[in-house]
Amino acid sequence: MYVEWQRLHRDGMRRVHEKTTPLYRRTRNFRVYASNLVPGLLQTGEYATGLLRSITAFQHTPDDIEEAVAARLARSRVVVEGDHTFALLLEETVLYYRVCDETAMAAQLGSLLSVMKRPNVSLGIIPFEARRTVWPLEAFYAFDGTQVAVETLTAEINVTSPGEIRTYLRAFGQLSRLAVRGPEARVRITRAIDTLG
């Protein structure tokens, strides 16, 4: 299903976050690939505010940023509540794209270092220099292998066809093999923080 952001955000962004909260709560296994932004699940309030402010300005949609950020953070509680697992892959470039001021960006990257310690979270960073077997793709979220949400500039595409889902999961598997985790991922995040000072 292809739904334009203009349509989804016609009343602001808060409702979209509230509407998808049940999906997040019932999903047990999340697989997330992010090529351009810190995934919404891991965003701090300040980072989300900077991002949603730029989206609102670009799309010329109603400004409900404060409410939308609160709804996004409420939806993200699944990371610390319940029995959910998260496999997240970020292109290293995500650590350097600034959608908020330097202080907020440093806090966001510091938050990634903290969330990596959670037993239900696997956070991988795909290094700049990784020899690509899969090119950088649009960001996507896989929910229990039954639905994939793909984010493009103009729309969200919800994929439910089993064959297409398998293709996204295969891409996720190949991208996962490119990623570094643990101490090496922490080094890359820390290096990005150091560029802010």
Task: Give the SS3 label for residue 154.
Answer: coil
| Calpha distance 24→10 (Å, rounded) | 22
The predicted pLDDT at position 1 comes to 77
Cβ(48)–Cβ(159) below 8 Å: no
Nearest partner of 107 among 50, 197, 47, judged by Cα: 47
- Mean pLDDT, range 87-105, rounded to an integer: 97
What is the rounded distance in angstroms from the CA atom of residue 141 to the CA atom of residue 37? 13
The confidence band for 49, taking pLDDT boundaries of 50, 70 and 90, is very high
Reported confidence tier of residue 134, pLDDT bands at 50, 70, 90: very high
pTM reported for the whole predicted model: 0.95
Q: Work out the burial of residue 33: count CB atoms within 10 Å of its CB; fewer than 13 is exposed, 13-18 middle, 19 or more buried.
A: buried
Instruction: Tell me the pLDDT tens digit for each residue of 140-188.
Output: 999 999 999 999 999 999 999 999 999 999 999 999 999 999 999 999 9
Cα–Cα distance between 135 and 138 in angstroms, integer? 10
CB 115 within 8 A of CB 79: yes
- pLDDT value, residue 66: 97
Residue 7 scores a pLDDT above 80: yes
| 140-143/121-126 β-pairing | unpaired
Distance between CA atoms of residues 25 and 27, nearest Å? 6
User: What residues does each domain of the chain span?
Assistant: 2-194
Mean pLDDT of 52-76: 96
Mean of all residue pLDDT scores within the chain: 96
pLDDT confidence band for 131 (50 / 70 / 90): very high
Residue 67 tokens read as 């409410």
Superfamily of domain 2-194: Endonuclease Chain A (3.30.870.10)
Q: What is the mean pLDDT of residues 125-141?
A: 96
Radius of gyration of the chain (CA): 16
